[in-house]
């Protein structure tokens, strides 16, 4: 079966997040945009954080508003402590609290190891890993202060860390990125262990190849797409909405007993496709 035109599931967006307040970092494009929209469609009011593309962030906010939820656009560099604290203050001022953090903002700066500069290493670690630490810390402070509100959610708060299949798959030429995602895995699990007694759930989503600007070179020509399919048994690239739907479900009370988990969403990329015939 090699048909890549198989239709995506047509999911009705159930309002499983009604009354909840969500923050999505890096919510102006790619996976973050799809997650912000999915949470809004599921009934959450959403803070759409952006770093540089303010216009796109406002378009995302308009889509959320059209779905009947509130949206607030906030610019911040998640790797800067003062920016993160200002963003949380703005959110708490406008929305009163936070129930869901999706720590999504991330980037790649690829180079062979012997050409990678310290600046490239540091930048990716700062945004992808330190940025998630700073946001998770502020979210946990508010979750602990407020506690569980029965009519809103079974949990006092939910954190979803955007990781990657590269938290486990090594990736030559991308050691800064793979190290940041491996770090997210143990940061997420350690935070989950620490805050579970406070009824705070912490999990990761681990996307494989998703059709976004970050990896356009891997899918925007026929040759690249065909080569990518050798790594994906399910034989289609992921769409940002595949991640959006999973985020809405994982943040909802339908996933209430799940904490410390990494949910891989990759069309089978982690299944060692090279072993399908042979080994």
Residues that bind ligand BGC (CB under 6 A): 108, 164-166, 208-209, 214-215, 218
Strands across the sheet containing 100-103: 71-75, 45-50, 21-24, 100-103, 157-162, 200-207, 262-265
Sequence-ordered strand ranges (E) for 19-122: 21-24, 45-50, 71-75, 100-103
In the complex, minimum distance from the CB of residue 197 to ligand BGC, in angstroms, rounded to a whole number: 32
Q: Are 212 and 170 in contact (CB under 8 A)?
A: no
Least Cα distance to 36 among 101, 133, 129 occurs for 101
Q: Which is nearer to ligand BGC, 108 or 122 (CB)?
A: 108
Least Cα distance to 230 among 264, 263, 275 occurs for 275
In the complex, minimum distance from the CB of residue 113 to ligand BGC, in angstroms, rounded to a whole number: 18
In the complex, minimum distance from the CB of residue 167 to ligand BGC, in angstroms, rounded to a whole number: 9
Least Cα distance to 69 among 35, 27, 34, 41 occurs for 41
The Cα–Cα gap between 184 and 250 comes to 17
- Tokens in use for 242? 């595949």
Q: Which is nearer to ligand BGC, 122 or 215 (CB)?
A: 215
- Tokens in use for 265? 């969403």
Q: Which is nearer to ligand BGC, 166 or 189 (CB)?
A: 166
Would you give the distance in Å from CA 76 to the centre of its chain?
A: 16
Sequence-ordered strand ranges (E) for 25-88: 45-50, 71-75
In the complex, minimum distance from the CB of residue 214 to ligand BGC, in angstroms, rounded to a whole number: 5
The Cα–Cα gap between 110 and 173 comes to 6
Active site residues: 177
Q: Which is nearer to ligand BGC, 220 or 254 (CB)?
A: 220
In the complex, minimum distance from the CB of residue 70 to ligand BGC, in angstroms, rounded to a whole number: 30
In the complex, minimum distance from the CB of residue 215 to ligand BGC, in angstroms, rounded to a whole number: 3
Q: Which is nearer to ligand BGC, 169 or 258 (CB)?
A: 169
Would you give the distance in Å from CA 230 to the centre of its chain?
A: 25
SS3 of 60, please?
helix
Q: Which is nearer to ligand BGC, 23 or 205 (CB)?
A: 205
């Amino acid at each position: 079966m090699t048909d890549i035109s198989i239709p995506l599931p047509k999911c009705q967006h159930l309002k499983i997040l009604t009354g909840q307040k969500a923050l999505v970092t890096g919510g102006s494009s790619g996976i973050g945009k799809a997650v912000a929209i999915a949470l809004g469609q599921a009934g959450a009011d959403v803070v759409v954080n952006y770093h540089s593309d303010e216009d796109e962030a406002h378009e995302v906010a308009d889509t959320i508003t059209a779905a009947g939820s509130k949206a607030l656009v906030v610019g911040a560099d998640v790797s800067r402590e003062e920016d993160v604290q200002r963003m949380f203050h703005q959110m708490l001022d406008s929305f009163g609290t936070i129930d869901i953090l999706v720590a999504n903002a991330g980037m790649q700066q690829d180079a062979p190891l012997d050409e990678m500069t310290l600046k490239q290493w540091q930048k990716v670690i700062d945004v992808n890993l330190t940025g998630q630490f700073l946001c998770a810390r502020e979210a946990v402070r508010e979750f602990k202060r407020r506690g569980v509100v029965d009519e809103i959610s079974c949990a006092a708060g939910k954190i979803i860390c955007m990781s990657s299949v590269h938290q486990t798959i090594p990736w030559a030429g991308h050691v800064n990125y793979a190290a940041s995602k491996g770090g997210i895995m143990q940061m997420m699990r350690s935070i989950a262990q620490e805050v579970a007694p406070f009824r705070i759930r912490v999990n990761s989503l681990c996307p494989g190849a998703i059709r976004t600007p970050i990896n356009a070179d891997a899918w925007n020509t026929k040759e690249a797409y065909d080569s990518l399919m050798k790594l994906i048994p399910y034989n289609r690239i992921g769409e940002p909405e595949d991640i959006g739907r999973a985020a809405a479900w994982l943040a909802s009370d339908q996933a209430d007993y799940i904490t410390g988990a990494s949910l891989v969403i990759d069309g089978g990329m982690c299944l060692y496709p090279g072993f399908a015939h042979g080994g």
